[in-house]
Amino acid sequence: MLLYTYPPAPNPRRLHIFMAEKGIEIPTVQVDLAKGEQFGEPLRSVNPSCTVPALVTDEGVVLAQVSAICDYLEELYPERPLLGRTPLERALVREWTHRIFLEGLMAIADVFRNGNPAFAKRALPGPVELEQVPALVERGMKRIDVFLHVLDAQLAGRDYVVGDAFSMADIDAIATCDFLGWIRKPVPDDCGNVKRWRETMSQRPSTRA
């Protein structure tokens, strides 16, 4: 296998925490997004969408979505399950990873990519030029506040987002909360559960790697 990646970015970060928790090591090719290397070779010939992470399997198949890569690796490395241990837990992990990505991470991405002059004509990842939509910045900030309070309610009386064990739901929430720093958005003071949980999560070796 070979992994094309840029660990500081939110989506690769999700995968790298997942791999660190499972003790998975895969040879990597670093693609510096800050230098625009995603638009050139070797990534473009592997993943024409010009996004990372992208995993080339031993069969030569390219997986370019974090959820798909994690599903694949969970099957190959079932020890230390991170996608749920029972049918219900797996369903809840899937539900929360979807909500965290859609309601949290993507809202932050809207603010980041539509409000930053560096992303002029690059409002979405990929090779297609798309103009920024300034209105999405204000909307994104409102969505972020709603999401953080939803997450705070979910974490009330809990050590983990789902069940009684660390899972992909926690990983996605960690990457999303860290992504807030890219737009200089703090967790609101009235989201004490999120702050408590995040402080605990920051002590895990996988999140410090």
Q: Write the DSSP string, 118-152.
A: GGTTBSSSSSS-B---THHHHHHHHHHHHHHHHHH
- Model confidence pLDDT, tens digit, residues 40-70: 999 999 999 999 999 999 999 999 999 999 9
Strand order in the sheet with 2-5: 28-30, 2-5, 54-56, 62-63
For tokens 């990505």, the residue is: 101
87-208 and 2-76 share a CATH fold: no
Residue 101, pLDDT above cutoff 90: yes
Question: Architecture of domain 87-208 in CATH?
Answer: Up-down Bundle (1.20)
- Model confidence pLDDT, tens digit, residues 187-198: 999 999 999 999
* Spatial separation of the C-alpha atoms in residues 101 and 80, rounded to whole Å: 23
* Spatial separation of the C-alpha atoms in residues 143 and 148, rounded to whole Å: 9
What DSSP letter does each residue of 27-61 carry, written as one string? -EEE--GGGTGGGSTTHHHH-TT--S-EEE-TTS-
Contact 29, 2 (CB under 8 A): yes
Domain ranges of the chain: 2-76, 87-208
| Residue-averaged pLDDT of the chain | 97
User: What whole-number percentage of the chain has pLDDT above 90?
Assistant: 98
- Model confidence pLDDT, tens digit, residues 117-165: 999 989 999 999 999 999 999 999 999 999 999 999 999 999 999 999 9
CATH of span 2-76: 3.40.30.10
pTM: 0.96
- What pLDDT band is residue 209 in, cutting at 50, 70 and 90? confident
